[in-house]
Structure 1
Amino acid sequence: MFSVLRASTGIALAACFLTSSAMANTEAKPDTAFQMAVAEFAPSGSEIADFYRERGFVPVWVGDTAAHAERRQRLIEGLSAVELHGLPANAYDAQGLVDRLQSAKSARQLGAVEVELTRVFAAYAQDMRTGLLRPSDIDDGLVRKVEPTSTAGHLRGLTTSEDAAYFDQLAPSSTQYRALMKQKLALEELVRQGGWGTTVPQAKLELGDTGPAVIAMRNRLVEMGFMNPTASPVFDDALLAGVQRFQIAHGLAADGVAGPGTITELNRTASDRLKAVYVALERERWLPRERGERHILVNQADFSAKIVDDGFITFETRAVIGKNTHDRRSPEFSDKMEHMVINPSWYVPRSIITKEYLPQLQSNPNAVGHIQITDRSGRQVNRGAVDFTQFTASNFPFAMRQPPSKSNALGLVKFMFPNKHNIYLHDTPQKSLFARESRAFSHGCIRLAQPFEFAYALLAKQEENPKAFFHRILATGKETTVKLEQHVPVHLIYRTAFIGPKGEVQYRRDVYGRDQKIWNALQKAGVALPDVQG
């Protein structure tokens, strides 16, 4: 049998050694009964069956060495603590595994338990490392490729690491993940205690106002930690500062006026925020472990684009993302930026040609005159010689191009990470959109408020005077490709809950409704919020 110790999780752990004569010495070849049991309970042709056959059926878990005991203990401890990571508490039945470990007597029973421990370990390792859900199953905009480690890969990692250290490598080690876990614990306790108290009546509140709504807003901001306690019933300077701090932390225009948008966000419950953190933890598990010492991070929900160097944000600008319609929402994926194009032409996507421009041309051949129409050889077409009414979306034979200019739809520079989704970052002549609080207006690509400065930051790694270099090319007016000597990873993410650079918690609106879909899927998989007291 196994000796048993009590872990801090409260679940008994099968821990130290195995005294069954059937498996007294795991360094020797396991007995036939154990081998037959493993062969019986491991599905034929599975990775588990192949793994055990390759290792001569030497057990991973039920041996009598300190290494086996350490693996058993670490597995049960890990399974018992999955809720800390926002995974479903009952998904792996840790107590059931302990019971089976304690009751196993024969070599056949040990073989069955061995295979079950391996099966559960593989599922647990996969969920911790790459997430409980598959992104593509949730939303067609989640085109991120999550490459799971094979079951055999997890088992080899476990058996070749020292002191069961492989368990420490499963969950993301990023600062963001650890901070989100801390925020999750704080919110869970807050939910149990009933949240932030009374909500604020929907009304526009500003400096100088008084009344019950002002008091309710003051009290809620105090509970949330955005201002110190005060007895003033007036919307005074202290309350103004508290409102602005709240607005900044939620991506709202920090004007200090509590309008409908601010009050709606202020009234969101602690449970709503906790759901966002659960989703953020899952999303963090989907991301590549190696982001790149230098990488570009576009958070669509935050309408921002950042350059990150060695974990520090070295450049940040506002962004416009795809409009919230089925065919325009910006997708989520990772790639590598290879080059920029200064003075770009805009080669109009086929979808825009057929859905937007063809109907206009059918009504007026001279419509969208700033766009050149070209044939298959790239020659410009005489609009007056074409009857556009004879064409449909499926047989329209022409391409369309807007030459370089300040009014070009892509502005004066675009940043390319070639991908099948035809998504890139670029300038825009529509500068007024960056003053908006919510910025979902594009056809799917990401527009930057400060594209020139973004270019300087990228070129700084390869040009002595990046600004002068950039403007020298810009002044030619010619379309010019500038290769990046070191390709830069680009991560297009969507995060409604994240931790800012100073450790502050930030929340954003679910502009595409994707996080709600992910939360629904997590709930279906068994993730649950804590019970509320009372």
Structure 2
Amino acid sequence: MNRLSLTLFGLTAVSVLVLTLLLVACGDPAYAATPPPATAAPASGAPADSTVPARQRLEEALARYQQVAQGGGWSTVPDGDLVEPGDTAATQVQALRDRLAASGELGGADPAGDVYDGALVGALARFQATHGLAVDSLLGGNTRAALNESADRRVEQIQSTLARWDELPAFPTGPDARYVVVNVPEFRVRAFEGGREALQMEVVVGASYDGRETPLFHDKMEHVIFRPYWGVPASIASEELVSQGPSALEGKGFEIAANYNADAEVYPMTWANLRRVGDGELRIRQTPGPDNALGLVKYMFPNQHAVYLHDTPADHLFEEADRAFSHGCIRLERPAEFGAWVLGPQGWDEARVRENMTTGDREKVVLDEEIPVYIVYLPVWADAGGAVHFAQDVYDEIN
């Protein structure tokens, strides 16, 4: 239990849930004021206690879910048409009310009735926010499937996550310790200083097919590169780019080079040279600029997987609930803000990071002190308010 005695998952989820409730039920005090049943997980309105170690919070959550499971679990929500706020659907509404009351999201604040409205709408939004779903308060197929996971299954998922937690390396400690944790199934990165969360944001991670999964490992960030080239991996070049032809590739800022070095010899973009790329003799890279697949900055912790943290021009992907789209690297929601934290001890602020992202030539900045980076896979966690979160098991890691 000592390995993760730091508050790994702090106030982030509380902030998300508060925003959700404001959007769907502004002015209704029921969510924060009504205590949940004794056997259920605490409501998001519970007082936040970031001093409780993250692993301990999950152990406490396990005990609560075991109590629910031993008491017979919760009822399921029957199949049916999509239910939207304001709809009348007697069977589904009552089943949903019973289900959310049993796990603590509703807390008994919603009066009986056949109409899907009021506190029940906010309770379902809260459930969606803590189960890796799109927060829209609609009772549809994905949400119904998550609701119908049994309490026994949730117990198993918590136990499996705790076992994975025990396999993690010890994180740095001390008042000056700085490190980064990427939790893949949560699609989120957190930066820590002195045991406290200093920064968090959403990320896009590797897709779950064709070997694109983001690998789980730890290393140390050594330097930052502004306006990077993208050295296209040979497999991507041969399987996805060569067939597009010279004109299409030039239009997207690609060039053929002898190797991935910035000063490498550049060859004409011809079909003949593209065939040499396909044969492994030459390489394809994308020149720096706003359309570069790596965006305008990348944070390097050299490793055998060629995985790193970087900007992206595809900002729209952060609007998705499931953000497993990359070839393995980790795309940052707010790369300039992340850079200000990384380079802050060297006198950089966000404005300076943005300036270097958008002006001048390619630049490499070496860190005065390397920053440990941990890429982990923890599908279940409990936030500082006591709410339990079940992420989508994007890589089917939890049995």
TM bucket by the smaller chain?
0.7 to 0.9
Residues 1:514 and 2:393 aligned together: no
**Higher helix proportion:** 1
Please name the residue that 1:218 is paired with. 97
Pick 1 or 2: higher relative contact order, CA cutoff 8 A, min separation 6. 2
- Which whole-Å CA distance do the structure 1 matches of 2:271 and 2:197 have between them? 54
In the alignment, the residues of structure 2 paired with residue 253 and residue 331 of structure 1 have an alpha-carbon distance, to the nearest angstrom, of 25
Counterparts of 1:322-333 in structure 2, within 5 Å, are 322-333=206-217
- How far did residue 241 of structure 1 move? 1.0
Query: Which structure has the larger Rg over C-alpha atoms?
Result: 1
Paired residues of 1:405 and 1:477 also in contact (CA < 8 A): no
**Aligned partner (choices 242, 263, 269) of residue 358 of structure 1:** 242
Q: What is the CA deviation profile of residues 57-115 of structure 1, one whole-angstrom value per residue up to 9, with x for unaligned ones?
A: xxxxxxxxxxxxxxxxxxxxxxxxxxxx9xxxxxxxxxxxxxxxxxxxxxxxxxxxxxx
Residue 256 of structure 2: aligned partner: 373
For 1:502, the aligned partner's letter is G
Match of 1:382 among 264, 268, 275: 268
- Checking the alignment, whether the CA contact within 8 Å between 1:198 and 1:216 is kept in structure 2 is yes
Corresponding residue of 2:146: 265
Q: How far is the alpha carbon of 1:247 from its aligned partner?
A: 1.3
Alignment match of 1:453 (pick from 337, 347, 363) = 337
1:186 deviates by 2.0
Whether the 8 Å contact between 1:346 and 1:401 is mirrored in structure 2 is: yes
> How much does 1:392 deviate?
8.0
What is the TM-score when the length of structure 2 is the normalising length?
0.80
- What is the aligned counterpart of 2:82 among 204, 207, 218? 204
Counterpart AA for 1:224 = S
Mean CA deviation greater in 473-482 or 321-330: 473-482
Q: 1:435 to 1:428 in 2, by over 3 A?
A: same
Indicate the larger mover: 183-192 or 196-205: 196-205
Aligned counterparts of 1:271 and 1:447: Cα–Cα separation in 2: 35
Q: Give the letter aligned to residue 357 of structure 2.
A: L
**d(CA) in 1 for partners of 2:57, 2:345:** 31
Structure 1 residue 470, shift from structure 2 partner: 1.6
Q: 1:413: which partner in 2?
A: 297
Query: In the alignment, what sits opposite 1:231?
Result: 112
Q: Which amino acid aligns with 2:390?
A: Y
**SS at 1:189's partner residue?**
helix
In 2, are the aligned partners of 1:404 and 1:477 still within 8 Å (CA)? no
Matches within 5 A, 1:133-148: none
C-alpha contact (below 8 Å) 2:256/2:273 kept by paired residues: no
The equivalent position to 1:404 in structure 2, one of 285, 288, 302, is 288
- Give the secondary structure class of the aligned counterpart of 1:487: strand
Give the alignment partner of residue 441 of structure 1, picking from 325, 328, 336. Answer: 325
- Given that 1:247 and 1:262 are in contact with CA atoms closer than 8 Å, whether structure 2 keeps it comes out as yes
- 1:6-35 Cα shifts (integer Å, max 9, x gaps): xxxxxxxxxxxxxxxxxxxxxxxxxxxxxx
| Contact persistence 2:224–2:364 (CA under 8 A) | yes
2:123 to 215, 238, 242: 242
Asked if the contact 1:202/1:263 (under 8 Å) is kept, the reply is: no
Q: 1:387 to 1:477 in 2, by over 3 A?
A: closer
Quick one: which amino acid aligns to residue 184 of structure 1? L
1:254 equivalent among 118, 135, 150: 135
Q: Distance in 1 between matches of 2:385 and 2:236?
A: 42
Residue 199 of structure 1 aligns to which amino acid in structure 2?
Answer: V
Which AA in structure 1 matches 2:97?
A: R
CA distance in 2, matches of 1:200, 1:452: 46
Structure 1 residue 202 displacement after superposition: 4.3
What is the CA-CA distance between 1:494 and the residue it aligns to?
1.3
Residues 461 and 129 of structure 1: is their aligned pair in 2 closer, same or farther, counting only changes over 3 Å?
Answer: closer
- In structure 1, distance between residues paired with 2:332 and 2:358: 20
Q: Which residue of 2 aligns with 1:285?
A: 166
SS in 1 for 2:306: coil
The answer to whether the 8 Å contact 2:204/2:323 transfers is yes
How many equivalent residue pairs? Answer: 341
1:484 to 361, 367, 370: 367
Deviation at 1:214, TM superposition (A): 1.0
Shift of 1:199: 3.1
Change (3 A) 1:200 1:294: farther
2:222, 2:300 within 8 Å by CA — same for their partners in 1? Answer: yes
Superposed displacement of residue 340, structure 1: 1.2
Pairing partner for 2:58 from 171, 180, 183: 180
Structure 1: unaligned runs, 5 residues or longer: 1-84, 86-127, 131-173, 517-534
Instruction: Classify 1:209/1:475 alpha carbon distance in 2 versus 1 (closer, same or farther; 3 Å).
Output: closer
Paired letter, 1:241: G
**In the aligned structure 2, how far is the partner of 1:461 from the partner of 1:502?**
31
CA positional deviation for 1:178: 1.9
Q: State the one-letter code of the partner of 2:167.
A: W
CA change 1:190–1:351 in 2 (3 A) is: same
Amino acid corresponding to residue 378 of structure 1 in structure 2: A
Asked if the contact 1:298/1:493 (under 8 Å) is kept, the reply is yes
Q: Tell me how far 1:314 sits from its aligned partner.
A: 1.9
Write the distance in 2 (CA, Å) between the matches of 1:345 and 1:365: 18
Q: In structure 1, which of residues 470, 484, 489 is the aligned counterpart of residue 353 of structure 2?
A: 470
* Aligned residue among 376, 385, 390 for 1:502: 385
- Deviation string, structure 1 residues 130-178 (Cα, Å, up to 9, x no partner): 9xxxxxxxxxxxxxxxxxxxxxxxxxxxxxxxxxxxxxxxxxxx92222
Q: Distance in 2 between matches of 1:301 and 1:333?
A: 15
| Rounded Cα–Cα distance in structure 2 between residues aligned with 1:455 and 1:303 | 19
Q: Give ranges in structure 2 of 5+ residues lacking alignment.
A: 5-51
AA at the equivalent of 1:405: G
Question: Alpha-carbon deviation of 1:385?
Answer: 7.2
SS of match in other structure, 2:346: coil
Q: Which amino acid aligns with 2:329?
A: C
Paired residue secondary structure (1:460): helix
Distance 2:80 2:302 in 1: 46
For 2:362 and 2:155, locate their aligned partners in 1 and report how far apart those are by CA, in whole Å.
48
Q: Following TM superposition, by how much is the alpha carbon of 1:294 offset from its aligned partner in structure 2, in angstroms?
A: 2.1
SS state at 2:247 partner: coil
